[in-house]
């Protein structure tokens, strides 16, 4: 039904080049039944993912209203449909630009909150993960100086 591969991300931190690998260390399987694992962390990026068309149609594809994290949302909705394969080799090399959607803390915070809310029934069995995602959003809002939104996210956590 779906399969994804590993990805090396070239980044910058403090003027130095950084390397990271996706999927990174996660709690749970990275292939097969990833339903629980995917609630904690995104395993795949859109450029690493191949999905059967009928499976995409069953979940109504990507959510066009999300400002970021569309791949994570897609995988959360896709995982319950059946096993997901993983080629755990770095077949994709990604380099983020300064204007990348992924680099925007505001878009990430908005998307994280929306994804958690729309999949709240899936997170009901994992209140620890639900709290962690709201805590992450709260931190992103705080770093942006949006303290009211940060406090609201922290209260949800």
pLDDT digits (tens, 9 = 90+) for 62-109: 999 999 999 999 999 999 999 999 999 999 999 876 666 566 888 988
The angle subtended at Cα 107 by Cα 106 and Cα 112, nearest 5°, is 100
What pLDDT is recorded for position 7? 96
Residue 12, pLDDT above cutoff 80: no
Residue closest to 1 by CA, chosen among 109, 93, 67, 79:
79
What pLDDT is recorded for position 36? 93
Instruction: Give pairs for 92-101: CB < 8 Å, separation 24+.
Output: 92/5, 92/6, 92/7, 92/8, 92/45, 92/47, 92/48, 93/7, 93/8, 93/10, 94/7, 94/8, 94/9, 94/10, 94/45, 94/47, 95/9, 95/10, 95/11, 96/9, 96/10, 96/11, 101/67, 101/68
Stretch 49-66: mean pLDDT? 96
What pLDDT is recorded for position 11? 81
> Could you give the 3-state DSSP secondary structure of residue 19?
strand
Q: What are the residues facing 32 on neighbouring strands?
A: 84
Confidence of residue 117 (pLDDT cuts 50, 70, 90): very high
The pTM assigned to this predicted structure is: 0.89
* Tokens 């994290």, residue located: 69
What pLDDT is recorded for position 101? 59
Residue 17, pLDDT above cutoff 80: yes
Residues 24-46: pLDDT tens digits?
999 899 999 999 999 999 999 99
What pLDDT is recorded for position 5? 97
């Amino acid at each position: 039904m779906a399969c994804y591969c590993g990805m090396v991300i070239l980044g910058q931190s403090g003027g130095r080049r950084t390397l990271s690998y996706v999927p990174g260390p996660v709690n749970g399987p990275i292939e097969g039944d990833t339903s629980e694992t995917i609630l904690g962390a995104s395993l795949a990026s859109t450029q690493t993912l191949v999905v059967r068309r009928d499976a995409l149609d069953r979940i109504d594809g990507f959510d066009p209203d999300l400002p970021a994290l569309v791949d994570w949302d897609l995988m959360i909705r896709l995982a319950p449909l059946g096993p997901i394969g993983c080629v755990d080799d770095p077949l994709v090399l990604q380099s983020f630009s300064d204007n990348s959607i992924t680099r925007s803390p505001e878009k990430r915070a908005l998307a994280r909150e929306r994804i958690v809310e729309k999949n709240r029934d899936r997170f009901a069995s994992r209140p620890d993960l639900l709290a962690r995602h709201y805590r992450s959003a709260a931190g992103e809002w705080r770093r942006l100086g949006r303290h009211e939104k940060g406090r609201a996210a922290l209260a949800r956590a």
